[in-house]
Amino acid sequence: MPIESDVFGFAVFDWVGGSRTFEVLERDDGYSQIGAGPNVYLSKFRNWPLAERRAMRYLNGRVLDVGCGAGRVALDVQRRGIDVVGLEVSPLAMKAARLRGVKKLLMMPFEDLDHRVAEFESIVLFGNNFGLFEDLHRARKALRKMYELANPGTRIFAESTSGYFGGAPALDRTRYRQNLARGTSPGQVKLRYHYKDLVGPWFRWLYVSQREMQSIVDGSGWRWERVLQGGLSDPYVAILIRD
């Protein structure tokens, strides 16, 4: 990622330095929303969503923290004495994670992991990072590819927020209805970050309900092991296992 387009990375790096300025998420129809900011991206375990806290007990073996940001999850996993690698595409977020003490980091897009998937027993997609798959088709394709590359016993910890109950960031009823009218997934959005005077490139994100995620998982080879949930509008974590 070119440094000049790494707006999220600039925000994360500033937060680690003590900034309290929040990022803003802009949707492609002009809707804007204040982002999660340092309160979430630098949060301690006790302040994580309930589903994430419950999911931690199921981690096994070497862990890949996908989209690690400033290292919120990786640092907690390290403290538990578990081998963990933080995966990022943002050079500034990676620098921030390293400054905070994350020991092992890897900079590359998740979809480029290929054979390295087999190096991990737990693949963590916290922070709604199931959305990295962008749309239903890409999600199904990515899960099938990961199944072929992963070892038996590997688990994916896939977090998303349902688009039906109002908890998904930058997804309101207007976009939900627009998506239905277009025949696209109700939880599909196109966003970009604003931070101070910086504006980032557009990117696509996907929120799915539990039923939608299960329909994506079916036929991929992965088995739906369990789902962990707080309230209906809160993020949930689906644990998928490769038998």
CATH of the domain at 237: 3.40.50.150
Predicted pLDDT of residue 173: 86
- b/e 28-42 (16+ beta carbons within 10 angstroms → b): eeeeeeebebbebbb
Does residue 6 lie in a domain region? no
Beta strand 63-66 with 84-88 is parallel
Tell me 35's DSSP state. -
- Number of domains into which the chain is organized: 1
The answer to whether the CB of 25 falls within 8 A of the CB of 193 is yes
Predicted pLDDT of residue 1: 64
Rounded CA-CA distance 144/150 in Å is 10
Does residue 80 lie in a domain region? yes
Does residue 105 lie in a domain region? yes
Distance of CA 143 to the CA centre of its chain: 15
**124, 127, 129, 131 alpha-carbon torsion, rounded to 10°:** 150
The answer to whether the CB of 224 falls within 8 A of the CB of 238 is yes
Q: Where in the sequence is the domain holding 60, given as residue range(s)?
A: 48-185+205-241
| Torsion angles phi and psi, residue 192, rounded to 5 | -150, 155
* Contacts for 76 with CB less than 8 Å, ≥ 6 apart: 45, 56
Predicted pLDDT of residue 97: 98
Does residue 94 lie in a domain region? yes
- The reported pTM is 0.96
Q: Per-block average pLDDT, block size 10, for the chain (243 residues)?
A: 83 98 97 96 98 98 98 98 97 97 97 95 98 95 97 98 91 89 91 97 96 96 97 96 97
